[in-house]
Amino acid sequence: MAEWVHDLGGADGHGAVDIEPDEPTFHADWERRMFGMTATVMTQGRVNGSEFRHAIERMDRDWYLGSSYYEHWLAGLATLLVEKRDLAREELAAHGAPSFPLARAAGAVEPTPATGGEPFAVGQRVQVRRFDPAGHTRCPAYVRGRVGTVVRRDGVHPVPDVEAHSDERPEEPTYSVRFAAGELWGDDAEPGVSVCVDLWHRYLEASA
Amino acid sequence: MTEPAHHHAPASAIEQRVAALEEVLTEKGLVTPEFIDGVVGLYENDIGPLNGAKVVARAWIDPEYHERLLHDGTAAIAELGFGGPEGQHLVVVENADDVHNVVVCTLCSCYPWPVLGLPPVWYKSPPYRARMVREPRTLLRELGVDLPESVEIRVWDSSAEVRYLVLPQRPAGTDGHGEEELAALVTRDAMIGVARP
């Protein structure tokens, strides 16, 4: 299975969660500028949320894990704008940033295929399809192949797997699917735990 | 275990890149300092967990609002004037004596901005995203929420378009409290599910 660094659910080797008391909204002025620039470009529709997420997902593993959140935004936004030819690396260099790392190229990606079929009903048992995404998806690896129960239907929404890689905007139902912890983690599961994951129709198939 | 949740690259290099990017985008007319200042000010000054706390306090004192909130979170939250980016589809999940809810985004940082503001660093950090779906009981205990095994834990991974808000249980001994007094008890972390009010 391809390793996508951002797809962290259930990953081993992570330590304590440190909650910073009275954390400020931003920790430095450059974070403010980064947030504001990204909000501007997204509001204009020059960049969509799926392609922005995917640009961040294309950061190399060590860079992604070793950099702060708004550095991810910096990498994602600059990468996309260079790829879309809204700006050039030479221009960034001319403005005082000769070294400007960007995420790796997406390459040609066939989006996760549609499966069709009737919408699933609340209470229905579904199995998450096993697939190995070459590009963007919002189906976390830790639920692929697992069986759960639809607990909520949330209307139809553009499929991110397509939105990140083409100009098409097919819409499909999304569902909240509940998985018992034992189904996800086997003997390692904690007692009395379930995990609900929100999933697009094409990630799922009916289960017995 | 002492690893900080965020690792800053040398600030000067990052600052240099961000400044260069803003200069180029400003020259091209793609961004303006006014718009950036405006949106930053909105999230630093106006939109934050005080909004969510008002929603929770209202639900605690008004049974009909409580019902509407659980039935259609987006609409009930809009009644109090809150909505917008990252809040078009809000779902409220309610804690009870035997159920505790907690929210995570394992893939990135999805979070209900209109009611909680922008997410804190720890919520976006790899340890939280990796561990909350796999060992929520252990992680919640580390964070100070020690739940007996009789309490079911429901973890909500916001991987699509819905953003979640946890409705905590009203603390005991607050019968005489007014709405504002109640709202003051509601913390950001309680509305994510990693603390109790």
Domain boundaries, chain A: 1-106, 125-206
Contact A100 B151 (CB under 8 A): no
Residue A135 has pLDDT above 90, yes or no: yes
The arithmetic mean of pLDDT across residues A38-54, rounded, is 95
Q: The tokens of A4 are what?
A: 């996508």
Active centre residues of B (catalytic): 105, 108-110
Mean pLDDT of B120-135: 98
> Looking at chain A from residue 122 to 141, which residues have their Cβ under 8 Å from any Cβ of chain B?
138-140
Query: Contacts of residue A193 in chain B, CB cutoff 8 Å?
Result: 136-137, 152-155
Does the pLDDT value for residue B100 go beyond 60?
Answer: yes
- Edge to edge, the sheet with strand A125-128 lists A204-206, A125-128, A147-158, A171-180, A193-200, B152-157, B99-104
The whole-number pLDDT of residue A3 equals: 79
Asked if A74 and B14 come within 8 Å (Cβ–Cβ), the reply is yes
Contact A192 B152 (CB under 8 A): yes
| Average pLDDT estimate for B163-192 | 97
Residues of B (95-134) whose Cβ lies below 8 Å from A: 106-109, 117-118, 120-122, 124-131, 133-134
- Is-contact B47 B117, C-beta < 8 A? yes
CA A86 to chain centre: 24
Query: Is the minimum CB–CB distance between A142 and chain B shorter than 8 Å?
Result: yes
CB B148, CB A188: distance < 8 Å? no
Question: CB distance B194–A194 less than 8 Å?
Answer: no
CB of A208 within 8 Å of a chain B CB? The answer is no
Both tokens of B163, joined, read: 């953003």
Which among A18, A91, A139 has CB closest to B24? A91
**SS3 for A195-208, per residue?**
EEEEEEHHHEEECC
Tell me which chain A residues have a C-beta less than 8 angstroms from the C-beta of B129: 8-9
Is B29 at the interface with chain A, CB within 8 A?
A: no
Mark yes or no for CB contact B160/A11 under 8 Å: no
- In terms of Cα–Cα distance, which of B21, B171, B166 is closest to A34? B21
Same topology, domains A1-106 and A125-206? Answer is no
Contacts of A178 in chain B (CB under 8 A): 154
The residues in A 169-198 lying below 8 A from B, measured between CB atoms, are: 174, 176, 178, 184-185, 188, 190-198
Superfamily, domain A1-106: Nitrile hydratase, beta subunit (1.10.472.20)
CA nearest B118 in A: which residue? A25
Q: Mean pLDDT lowest for which of A86-90, A107-111, B93-97, B189-193?
A: A107-111
Selected residues 3-42 of chain A with any CB under 8 Å from a CB in chain B:
6-12, 14-20, 23, 25-28, 30, 32-37, 39-41
Which residues of chain B from 44 to 63 reach within 8 Å of chain A, CB to CB? 44, 48
Q: What is the pLDDT of residue A1?
A: 43
Token pair for residue B58?
Answer: 């209202």
- CATH tag, A125-206: 2.30.30.50
**Segment A117-133, tens digit of pLDDT:** 999 999 999 999 999 99
Q: Is some CB atom of chain B closer than 8 A to the CB atom of A52?
A: no
ipTM above 0.90, yes or no: yes
- Interval A66-124: pLDDT, tens: 999 999 999 999 999 999 999 999 999 999 998 999 999 988 888 999 998 999 999 99
CA–CA separation, A185 and B136 (whole Å): 12
